[in-house]
Chain A
Amino acid sequence: MNAVATEPLLSVRDLRIVFDGRHGPLTALDGVSFDIAPGEILGVVGESGAGKSLTGTAVIGLLDPPGRIAGGSIHLAGQRIDNLPAEPMRKLRGRRIGAIFQDPLTSLHPLLTVGDQLVETILTHLPVSRSEARERALNLLKEVGIPAAETRIDHYPHQFSGGMRQRVVIALALCAEPALIIADEPTTALDVSIQAQITTLLKRLCREHGTAIMLVTHDMGVIAETADRVAVMYAGRIVEIGPVEEVTRRARHPYTAGLMASIPSVHTRNAILNQIDGSMPRLNAIPPGCAFNPRCGIGTDFCREHRPGLPPSRHAAACHFPLREAPHA
């Protein structure tokens, strides 16, 4: 991986995902482009239906019909992976790309001990013996902070609490030392104090193993604390992307700015929260031009006719009238 450190690990270009429905095709993802560098945590944030999970699903090749990739490309370390046949993709999944999902109980097999599940995964991907695999599984459980791992390795998923289960899922994702982990709402089902444990763990592992993470969540707080860069999605498009401090503090897209202002603060109490009126358009009713223009305070006729592109700068917003001029563009 270090040989291509200057190259992006994951490169998604103009990704377009279409669902063939009864009433014609619905474009769920429209021209999504982003890169993830090795060891980097990219947060992908957006409201439900914005296409953030779909992006992750497409990268790990788990897109189910009627959804299909209708355009664009996905490259992992220089290798194109969006058009791979099923079998090579299956080998790649788990080995090069790991996945962590929201609900740790449904991601684990209820009838196998966590040790068996870890050993099976390790044996599938790595050329090791069964005893070596078990040794590695035990080390992984210790690494993700399972107390008394020697006995817990033979326990079943239901014997673990929600936070501990999510740690097991993280251990599973790390089995084959993948270069990239897709984490889809990894902390949403957990309590705040456990959520903090899991994000801290993810961050530490990412640093120690040099693993890149695509962190998909609706929680801007989790992104702000965990990610290096953040991509904000709206109606199947990336509307803003940039370093997390800049996007959260100096948002350029009116949608991002509105989203940030609508989050209640723990430090002060405001009489009324800033709200974005209306809701995100449905897939069959995405307006022409800028998808956000009907809800935007500064939208003009130009916005209704011309779709803004995402400039290639470090902190970019897909907006004709970005809120601040880029100081370092």
Chain B
Amino acid sequence: MRDPIQTSPHPEEPRSGVSKDAPAFSVASTTILRDAPDGDPQDEGSRGERATILDVHGASCRFEVSQPWLARVVSRSPRRVLRAVEDISFKVERGTTFSIVGESGCGKSTLARMVVGLQRPTEGSLRFADITRADGTIGPPRVQMIFQDPYASLNPRWRVGDIIAEPIRELKLRKDEGETIARVGDLLEIVGLSRGDALRFPHEFSGGQRQRISIARALATEADFLVCDEPTSALDVSVQAQILNLMVRLQKEFGLTYLFISHNLSVVRHMSDHLAIMYLGRFVESGPAEEVFNHPRHPYTRLLLDTIPDVEKPNRERRPMSGEVPSPIAPPPGCAFHPRCAMAGDICRSERPILREVAETQLACHFG
């Protein structure tokens, strides 16, 4: 069950069993705490200070991808565990945007699903602080998600008004139907559509307009915390600008907190206050966005910044990063990035670098 080559930076932490079928997570190691812990001076955030709204501590998510039991015993093949997210810790401050950047398969979407509660962490905790919510009540923030594909995330058989009203009706946020309809109209106007659009169906809208509907639906619950999983990746660049501007405006107006998942570094630079670069389930670098963009320290961050196409430098000769992201089932020993890293030394092949403080940022690299 336990991986023999596992090199944990926290050997004192108990490792819970990895099991997909039986979610027998122990309460001690696997909890999504909804309450602020005692004695933790939680700023309500209502006074304008930047208070921590989400505290992720040592979160891991592993999936068992072994063959079925009998087949495994007969063929004597070992258990195989996919480490989607490994030992990740970060804090998100209220009213800011925390971005997670990485290539496909790095675990960023799994992390997003853990934050919204669609996926249980195998280990570690995700803790939302109590805040004064948008509607005046005190409690953990209301969390909503905006998905990548606005064509798949809206029910094609429902009118837009019903799509947006569903969370209001389900959570009984308005007294009667009249108030619900008025609220839906307000929400449509907030995201730049018209009240009359409530009667239309999703297929009558373009991709950008559909993403506006998704945002209206997320706001319908008086959400404070939005997890945005590649919200503009399916959109054209001019529409992307409209949606990003809308998201920035809504953040200012309603004090929203965003967890922004993207592979597009330009978009991330535009949106983020803090960011983390993920590689093979772990953060390799994280910190204030400006610091990371201006002084990228991890070779992976530097290579990512170097390889993105740049409209401002046409026909630049670039050095593409060789190799591909290894499989998270059998990650390379030592630093997971070493097979693609130009600076890799012997220590990188044998010892996994732990995340340490460098200037304002955190960095997981033996050099740099």
Interface residues of A (CB under 8 A from B): 47-48, 161, 163-164, 191-197, 199-200, 218-222, 224-226, 228, 244-245, 248-249, 258-260, 262-267, 269-277, 279
**Contact among B270, B293, B322, B325 for A273, CB-based, below 8 A:** B270
Interface size class of B (residues with CB under 8 A): 35 or more
A-B contact count (CB 8 A): 134
Closest to A220 in B: B311
B266 touches A266 (CB 8 A): yes
A264 touches B311 (CB 8 A): no
B311 touches A193 (CB 8 A): no
Q: How far is the CA of A249 from the CA of B311 in the complex (A)?
A: 9
Q: List 5 A-B contacts (CB under 8 A).
A: A47-B237, A193-B103, A193-B320, A225-B316, A265-B266
Additional A-B contacts beyond A196-B308, A264-B270 (15; CB < 8 A):
A47-B236, A48-B207, A191-B103, A191-B104, A192-B308, A196-B318, A218-B237, A224-B315, A225-B309, A248-B314, A258-B238, A260-B311, A262-B241, A265-B312, A273-B270
B265 interface hit (Cβ, 8 Å) = yes
A161 touches B320 (CB 8 A): no
B103 touches A192 (CB 8 A): yes
With A47-B238, A265-B269, A273-B270 known as contacts, the answer to whether A193 contacts B304 (CB < 8 A) is: yes
Residues in B with CB closer than 8 Å to A225 are 309-310, 313-316, 318
Partner-contacting stretch, out of B4-12, B242-250, B342-350: B242-250
Q: How far is the CB of A165 from chain B (nearest CB, A)?
A: 11
Q: How far is the CA of A222 from the CA of B304 in the complex (A)?
A: 15
Q: How far is the CA of A220 from the CA of B307 in the complex (A)?
A: 14
A195 touches B309 (CB 8 A): yes
Q: How far is the CB of A219 from chain B (nearest CB, A)?
A: 7
With A196-B321, A245-B315 known as contacts, the answer to whether A269 contacts B270 (CB < 8 A) is: yes
B208 interface hit (Cβ, 8 Å) = yes
**Contact among A161, A267, A275, A277 for B324, CB-based, below 8 A:** A161
Residues in A with CB closer than 8 Å to B315 are 224-226, 228, 244-245
A191 touches B263 (CB 8 A): yes
With A193-B304, A193-B321, A224-B315 known as contacts, the answer to whether A274 contacts B208 (CB < 8 A) is: no
Q: How far is the CA of A237 from the CA of B356 in the complex (A)?
A: 54
A191 touches B311 (CB 8 A): no
A197 touches B320 (CB 8 A): yes
B240 interface hit (Cβ, 8 Å) = yes
B239 interface hit (Cβ, 8 Å) = yes
A277 touches B325 (CB 8 A): no
With A266-B308, A275-B242 known as contacts, the answer to whether A220 contacts B237 (CB < 8 A) is: yes
B305 interface hit (Cβ, 8 Å) = yes
Q: How far is the CB of B319 from chain A (nearest CB, A)?
A: 9
Q: How far is the CB of B259 from chain A (nearest CB, A)?
A: 19
B116 interface hit (Cβ, 8 Å) = no
Closest to B293 in A: A266
B241 touches A274 (CB 8 A): yes
**Contact among B103, B104, B238, B311 for A276, CB-based, below 8 A:** B238
Q: How far is the CA of A270 from the CA of B241 in the complex (A)?
A: 12
**Contact among A47, A163, A258, A273 for B245, CB-based, below 8 A:** A273
